[in-house]
Chain A
Amino acid sequence: MAMKDFLGRWPVLRQLTGPDRCGLGAAVRSKKTDELRSRVATADRVVKSICPYCAVGCGQNVYVSGEKVVQIEGDPDSPISRGRLCPKGSASLQLTTGPGRERSVLYRRPYGTEWEQLDLDTAMRMVADRVVRTRRETWQEHCDGKRVARTMGIASLGGATLDNEENYLIKKLMTGLGVVQVENQARVCHSSTVTGLGTSFGRGGSTTFMQDLQHSDCIIIEGSNFAEAHPVGFQWVMEAKLRGATVIHVDPHFSRTSAMADLFVPIRAGTDIAFLGAIINHVLSEGKDFREYVLNYTNAACVVSDEFADSEDLDGVFSGWDPETRTYDVGTWQYKGPRVQTVSGRRLRLDEYHQPGRSEAHGSGGAPVTPYAERDETLSHPRCVYQILKRHFSRYTPEVVERTCGIPPETFARVCDALTSNSGPDRTSAFAYAVGWTQHSVGTQYIRTASILQLLLGNIGRPGGGIMALRGHASIQGSSDIPTLYNLLPGYIPMPYAHTDENLDDFVEVITTQKGFWADARHYVVSLLKAYYGDAATADNDFCFGHLPRLTGSHSTYDTTFAQLDGVCKGFFLFGENPAVGSANARLQRLGMANLDWLVVRDFALIESATWWKDGREIRTGELRTEEIGTEVFFFPAASHTEKNGTFTNTNRLLQWHHAAVEPSGDCRSDLWFVYHLGRMVRERLAGSAEPYDRAILDLAWDYPVEGELREPSAEAVLREVNGYGPDGELLSSYMRLRGDGSTSCGCWIYCGVFADGVNQAARRKPHTEQSWVSHEWGWAWPLNRRTLYNRASADPDGNPWSARKAYVWWDADLGRWTGHDIPDFIDDRPPDYRPPADAQGPDALSGIDAFIMQGDGKGWLYAPAGLMDGPLPVHYEPQDTPCENPLYRAYPRNPARLLYDRPGNRYHPVASKVYPYVVTTYRLTEHFTAGGMSRWLPYLSELQPEMFCEVSPELAEERLLEHGDWATIISARGAIEAKVLITDRMPSLRLDGRVVHQIGLPYHYGPNGCATGDPANELTSIVLDPNADIQETKACTADIQPGRRPRGPGLNRLVETFRRRAGMYEPTRQEV
């Protein structure tokens, strides 16, 4: 039998007897080949998931066999990704099942030299003990005579890689504990987006969604390396290009995005306001604005108060500048008309509103403003916004662009042409940006400039138009919406301030607007307090409003760094963030951690932020000695996205549920598990405490159903709480049903509706092939599942589409409601011709043409009469470290309101210093992810970009004798790094103002740990922040570059010191105000 089998399969026989005489095909197949099946076809089950890397939010199918994940690939049903994945998404199997993952708890005792094993239970108990102890020891009931009810002894960082449910629980627990220093990547990534877009349009999220870019006629990608950082989203740009759109890329370096563009425009890092401002000038002076749109949907016609004086008149500052405090009195920027009033009729003191961090509260609701400003419909009043704008930008000429940005006038003209000829009733243009714009000391104003331009051209709220803010991590939008941020409560409700927000009424009054949906602020706040404190929150006790810890200033992640250095902050949670590599001034990040009592790191692998005490750069230079570092370090291995349920909110503001495919192994646990059980254990320890300050934590509503052997809390239960319940315990379908009387609860009002009808709307997965490109039945987007924001503006004032080609949402007179391709971002049945009576309040005060419904005046803001800390209009300021003088403003060459931290270890370069002559900019590579925790441990990604390198032009290489493929050392006042040299024309040297400015390009992903290694770019960067958003300037600084490797050991610090001395930096450089 066996013999017969053998002979039957013997190819020679089959050749002789069958058609395949030459033995090239059918005859030579082996048995194994005949039986071959794919492991996805034979898998036990397929689980629907979402890529855990970036904010594109690609759909994934996770295949499970024998309770092991055996394959992860793109989900063809997804309307966003259509089954495609970039290299990181494609490497998800290695991320989740590869050898890089740590699976047991590790412990480093104070002064210890090695990791020790610890069992999970013991570790949890130890952490709970430390939280209780540190909280007790550092409790602060009052500060400067005001009640603050908080601890500055504990901080938490991270959240953008986590699920919304996890972020919600972290913020809830920390707030319960009185911890205010809660931050995540959103701070260092896109916080200026929230302030920039929020003040301009009323919401801080991208105005459009990636798939809609296919309908653009012109796409300007500026401040984004779209193709590399959002590769799968980039398919929609390519789609537009195939349909004939013009694609323009404006960037300091020629990247894979530039390679796909019709026009690449090299620009000096840090000068976009000059460039965009000049386009605005072009549009205004040539009368190319979309007049009907501008008149009706923007605040162009509003007249500004007589006290306002422009930066053009004051050589770089606006009226209201106080050089002592380096802040503005923003009152002078207001519209002319009745002063801003609150619901109760009290006249709002704007300084009550203007606190550090408040700008970000416009993430879903504009700044307070008088809804009935004086208007001039002819746009000719010299103090109307339109005329102010015209004057303000009149000095931004093509010549200034050339002198400032290094862009030749012909190229500039091409951009103007492409943009203006592709805007109007029948055509739309879109901008796409990301952190090339956000990470500047004027980041917010970069985004404002683009907002102004897009409003003037009538490109907001329309198909193929908009401003696509390309967010970063898988859920960074979510971690802004349900924030783990110091200044925000869920739904962009600001954290209360010690000085002004003594009680609920005061608090609500300050944040309530007269017109629009923010008039209902009380409903949102009280519903949140009910979600936080449950039955303990009653009308009698102000719904426990007093439990909330209070802010006294900026408590951003960088302030926390200094608090650590100063010994104030003693305990630190890292929930998936790697500041030792990813945050500006990496050395100070590590020194701060070395000053802690305890540190908890939750991650997949032993990232640099977990091992600095052992092998960090300061240990190698001898600056620190392991045996002398008292920090106790706990490492907890985290569960991956395939091991837990939850939602990510992608850059489309879209919530997508990912289902757990398998249980986590070893000690790996979800962050939900960690936070829930930590909270439970802390509460157990404090149970029965009579201390008043323990009430806040004991009153927290903290019982979530747990599931399975691991006692995993139910993420669905958390999402339900976020969605909110009505008086009868029913899940609400819209925030319009929230009430301020305690009858409803809602963990995040803008997410209300995600569980409408008791259905997890975020888990909906109707294939894109079965619905329109807007795909409303895929996931759920905030607000209320609208995909293009402000889409009322896609119709003319009468409610008809601007053109047949660009029809999107329109008024159906027969039905008496708005209809179209999207869910109208408007009041459903408000007719276009409705005009509110003068005393109308809240949503009733919105007219039929108030397309920007979250704004206090219903208009898109060309001019921001409130909400920002550094000016109502953008101004070109030079970056903190710059090789150039500001050609426009002598007295205030840099953003006067920027936040400076001129401290040891964080020195700034003197202006136009010859010692640090080159511009340095940092960026991403397709093959790596952020600070590297999710890519440098993966062999498949590491081999693709294995080592840190720098990109320099042939001219710079010649000037500094750099050799291709050899080493170079790059030096700033903060540190020095080495990198392999890649000489390339893709890194242009710019000709401007009669000189050549060389730029050095650095990918910022590398660190010493993992498979792909190198020095972190952030050794070079400094901490200097945008005053609206506390975001650091990591996109433009200066440095020198020298051939060869950097010194190892102590010589490294000496090298940095030598350069500082040569630059004359013996002490803090005096900064012009």
Chain B
Amino acid sequence: MTTRSRVDGQATALADEYVSYYNRRILKPPTWRAASIGGYLYLGGLAGASSVFAAGGQLTGRPGLARAGKAAALVGIGLSLAALVEDLGRPERFLHMLRTFKPTSPMSVGSWLLASYAPLVGVSLLTDLTGRFPFTGRAACYGAAILGPAVTTYTAVLISDTAVPAWHEGHREMPFLFAGSATATAAGSAMIAAPPSENGPARRAAVLGTALELGAGWLMRRRMGMIAGAYEHGRAGVLMRTGEALAVAGAVGAVLCGRRRAAAVASGAALMAASACIRLGVFSAGVASSEDPAYTVVPQRARLASPETTYA
């Protein structure tokens, strides 16, 4: 894919000070589409955390919550896989993901993870719905719950293990942000789908998850230095701010809604939307940071200038 731009009127043939070559980007922006890969990140998180809710529900005798979790996990994982496949240049070669197992590739690790996780989710919901093979069903449910958290956080590694400044520089906090976000969104979905009588854990998790999400996000940007700008400006900024506002609203709602169904649904929806916005915001910030050469050059220059530069 080549991007050809017409001269923008700004560019002169002769510029004395360069941030980069004609101030053009140095990196290639992600080829991923926001809808599919943003959706994939979001839905994977929803699935993974929902599996934990499902197990919790199962363990603590909240069948409604458990079933809601199982369903959300399956829908989440199903759609996320669909989004992933859809984003491939050659969808029919999806199975090439299992040609090899590469510990250096989060996507490869993730593929194997999903390959084990998705069937468990399927089995656990199917057995729940049909009532057959309950033992297998319970085992599958616990299995999915063990893998679930990994499913939610490996995607953070996936995007952080790139040259995209706004992603890579957040690699420490990103998994926590994802974990928090997944927790909140799964909680939100549980608040919507589970009977109000069983949504106590979800409401509490919503608050904790949101706190984690916002806290990790804040810390991440603080540690990123100038790259945080990618999260503050443009589309990413709008998404992040909207997401954060919704998250706070959702969390407050979760605290206050009690067993009122409608309020729970509203707060749940707010939480889910918040999380979606934040995931998309992270995605957009990544794209923006790869488009602007300053995010590549300035930190690297600083790194070169600092006496104790080590690459290890």
Q: Which of A23, A963, A966, A984 contacts B100 (CB 8 A)?
A: A23
For window 10-30 of chain B, which residues contact chain A by CB distance below 8 Å? 11-14
Given contacts A12-B99, A964-B7, contact A24 B104 (CB under 8 A): yes
Q: Which of A24, A28, A963, A982 contacts B99 (CB 8 A)?
A: A28
Q: Are B13 and A24 in contact (CB under 8 A)?
A: no
Nearest A-chain residue to B12, judged by Cβ: A964
Q: Which of B6, B12, B101, B103 contacts A12 (CB 8 A)?
A: B101
Type the 1/0 row for A948-971, where 1 means its CB is closer than 8 Å to any CB of B.
Answer: 000000100000000111100000
Alpha-carbon distance A11/B96, docked complex (angstroms): 11
Q: Are A15 and B13 in contact (CB under 8 A)?
A: no
Q: Are A984 and B9 in contact (CB under 8 A)?
A: no
Nearest-neighbour CB distance to chain A for B97, whole angstroms, equals 12
In this assembly, does B102 line the interface, its C-beta being within 8 Å of a C-beta of chain A? yes
Given contacts A964-B7, A965-B7, contact A983 B100 (CB under 8 A): no
Neighbouring B residues of A954 by C-beta, 8 Å: 14
For window 85-114 of chain B, which residues contact chain A by CB distance below 8 Å? 98-104
Given contacts A984-B14, A985-B14, contact A28 B9 (CB under 8 A): no
Alpha-carbon distance A28/B102, docked complex (angstroms): 10
In this assembly, does A105 line the interface, its C-beta being within 8 Å of a C-beta of chain B? no
In this assembly, does A27 line the interface, its C-beta being within 8 Å of a C-beta of chain B? yes
Q: How many of chain B's residues have a CB under 8 angstroms from any CB in A?
A: 15
In this assembly, does A22 line the interface, its C-beta being within 8 Å of a C-beta of chain B? yes
Alpha-carbon distance A28/B14, docked complex (angstroms): 47
Q: Are B7 and A23 in contact (CB under 8 A)?
A: no
Q: Which of A22, A963, A964 contacts B13 (CB 8 A)?
A: A964
For window 1-58 of chain A, which residues contact chain B by CB distance below 8 Å? 10-12, 15, 22-24, 27-28
Nearest A-chain residue to B13, judged by Cβ: A984
Neighbouring B residues of A965 by C-beta, 8 Å: 6-9, 11
Q: Are A982 and B100 in contact (CB under 8 A)?
A: no
Q: Are B104 and A22 in contact (CB under 8 A)?
A: yes
Alpha-carbon distance A964/B22, docked complex (angstroms): 14
Given contacts A964-B11, A964-B12, A965-B11, contact A22 B102 (CB under 8 A): yes
Alpha-carbon distance A23/B96, docked complex (angstroms): 13
Neighbouring A residues of B98 by C-beta, 8 Å: 12
Neighbouring B residues of A22 by C-beta, 8 Å: 102-104
Q: Are A983 and B13 in contact (CB under 8 A)?
A: yes
Neighbouring A residues of B8 by C-beta, 8 Å: 965
Neighbouring B residues of A11 by C-beta, 8 Å: 99-100
Neighbouring A residues of B11 by C-beta, 8 Å: 964-965
Tell me which of B98, B102, B104 has the highest count of chain A C-beta atoms within 10 A of its own C-beta. B102
Q: Are A12 and B13 in contact (CB under 8 A)?
A: no
Nearest A-chain residue to B98, judged by Cβ: A12
Neighbouring A residues of B104 by C-beta, 8 Å: 22, 24
Alpha-carbon distance A24/B14, docked complex (angstroms): 43
Q: Are B102 and A23 in contact (CB under 8 A)?
A: yes
Q: Are B102 and A982 in contact (CB under 8 A)?
A: no
Nearest A-chain residue to B99, judged by Cβ: A11
Q: Number of contact residues on A: which range applies?
A: 10 to 19
Nearest-neighbour CB distance to chain B for A42, whole angstroms, equals 27
Tell me which of B98, B99, B100 has the highest count of chain A C-beta atoms within 10 A of its own C-beta. B100
Alpha-carbon distance A954/B14, docked complex (angstroms): 10
Q: Are A963 and B9 in contact (CB under 8 A)?
A: yes
Nearest A-chain residue to B6, judged by Cβ: A965
Nearest-neighbour CB distance to chain A for B196, whole angstroms, equals 47
Nearest-neighbour CB distance to chain B for A1010, whole angstroms, equals 19
Nearest A-chain residue to B14, judged by Cβ: A985
Nearest-neighbour CB distance to chain A for B161, whole angstroms, equals 14
Q: Are B9 and A15 in contact (CB under 8 A)?
A: no
Neighbouring A residues of B9 by C-beta, 8 Å: 963-966
Q: Are B100 and A15 in contact (CB under 8 A)?
A: yes
Alpha-carbon distance A984/B12, docked complex (angstroms): 8
Nearest-neighbour CB distance to chain B for A972, whole angstroms, equals 25
Neighbouring A residues of B99 by C-beta, 8 Å: 10-12, 28
Alpha-carbon distance A985/B12, docked complex (angstroms): 11
Alpha-carbon distance A24/B100, docked complex (angstroms): 10
Nearest-neighbour CB distance to chain A for B32, whole angstroms, equals 23
Nearest-neighbour CB distance to chain A for B216, whole angstroms, equals 30
Given contacts A964-B7, A965-B7, contact A27 B12 (CB under 8 A): no
Nearest-neighbour CB distance to chain B for A393, whole angstroms, equals 39
Nearest-neighbour CB distance to chain A for B109, whole angstroms, equals 12
Nearest-neighbour CB distance to chain A for B116, whole angstroms, equals 14
Tell me which of A10, A24, A954, A965 has the highest count of chain B C-beta atoms within 10 A of its own C-beta. A965
Alpha-carbon distance A12/B97, docked complex (angstroms): 11
Alpha-carbon distance A763/B194, docked complex (angstroms): 88
Nearest-neighbour CB distance to chain B for A641, whole angstroms, equals 31
Neighbouring A residues of B101 by C-beta, 8 Å: 12, 15, 23
Alpha-carbon distance A22/B108, docked complex (angstroms): 11
Nearest-neighbour CB distance to chain A for B273, whole angstroms, equals 40
Neighbouring A residues of B14 by C-beta, 8 Å: 954, 983-985
Neighbouring A residues of B7 by C-beta, 8 Å: 964-965
For window 261-300 of chain B, which residues contact chain A by CB distance below 8 Å? none
Alpha-carbon distance A15/B14, docked complex (angstroms): 52
Q: Which of B6, B13, B100, B103 contacts A28 (CB 8 A)?
A: B100
Neighbouring B residues of A27 by C-beta, 8 Å: 100
Nearest B-chain residue to A963, judged by Cβ: B9
Alpha-carbon distance A12/B112, docked complex (angstroms): 12
Alpha-carbon distance A15/B99, docked complex (angstroms): 11
Neighbouring B residues of A966 by C-beta, 8 Å: 9
Tell me which of B8, B13, B98 has the highest count of chain A C-beta atoms within 10 A of its own C-beta. B13
Nearest-neighbour CB distance to chain B for A925, whole angstroms, equals 15
Nearest-neighbour CB distance to chain A for B84, whole angstroms, equals 20
Alpha-carbon distance A965/B101, docked complex (angstroms): 50
Alpha-carbon distance A982/B101, docked complex (angstroms): 52
Nearest B-chain residue to A965, judged by Cβ: B7
Alpha-carbon distance A22/B105, docked complex (angstroms): 10
Given contacts A964-B7, A965-B7, contact A983 B12 (CB under 8 A): yes
Nearest-neighbour CB distance to chain B for A783, whole angstroms, equals 47
Alpha-carbon distance A966/B11, docked complex (angstroms): 12
Alpha-carbon distance A877/B278, docked complex (angstroms): 75
Nearest-neighbour CB distance to chain A for B41, whole angstroms, equals 25
Nearest-neighbour CB distance to chain A for B86, whole angstroms, equals 25
For window 145-169 of chain B, which residues contact chain A by CB distance below 8 Å? none
Type the 1/0 row for A677-697, where 1 means its CB is closer than 8 Å to any CB of B.
Answer: 000000000000000000000
Type the 1/0 row for A1020-1047, where 1 means its CB is closer than 8 Å to any CB of B.
Answer: 0000000000000000000000000000
Nearest-neighbour CB distance to chain A for B40, whole angstroms, equals 23
Nearest-neighbour CB distance to chain A for B311, whole angstroms, equals 19
Nearest-neighbour CB distance to chain A for B218, whole angstroms, equals 36
Alpha-carbon distance A985/B8, docked complex (angstroms): 20
Q: Are A24 and B102 in contact (CB under 8 A)?
A: yes
Type the 1/0 row for B105-149, where 1 means its CB is closer than 8 Å to any CB of A.
Answer: 000000000000000000000000000000000000000000000
Nearest A-chain residue to B7, judged by Cβ: A965
Nearest-neighbour CB distance to chain A for B39, whole angstroms, equals 28
Neighbouring A residues of B12 by C-beta, 8 Å: 964, 983
Alpha-carbon distance A983/B99, docked complex (angstroms): 54
Alpha-carbon distance A982/B13, docked complex (angstroms): 7
Nearest B-chain residue to A21, judged by Cβ: B103
Nearest A-chain residue to B108, judged by Cβ: A23
Q: Which positions in A face B, CB cutoff 8 Å?
A: 10-12, 15, 22-24, 27-28, 954, 963-966, 982-985
Q: A11-B99, A12-B99, A965-B9 are in contact. List 8 more A-B contacts (CB 8 A).
A: A10-B99, A12-B98, A15-B101, A22-B103, A24-B104, A27-B100, A964-B7, A964-B9
Instruction: Please list 14 pairs of residues, one from A and one from B, whose beta carbons are closer than 8 Å in the complex, sorted by A's number.
Output: A10-B99, A11-B99, A12-B100, A12-B101, A15-B101, A24-B102, A28-B100, A963-B9, A964-B11, A965-B7, A966-B9, A982-B13, A983-B12, A984-B14
- In the A-B complex, the 8 residue pairs with the smallest Cβ-Cβ separation, listed nearest first, are A965-B7, A11-B100, A23-B100, A984-B13, A23-B102, A964-B12, A11-B99, A28-B100
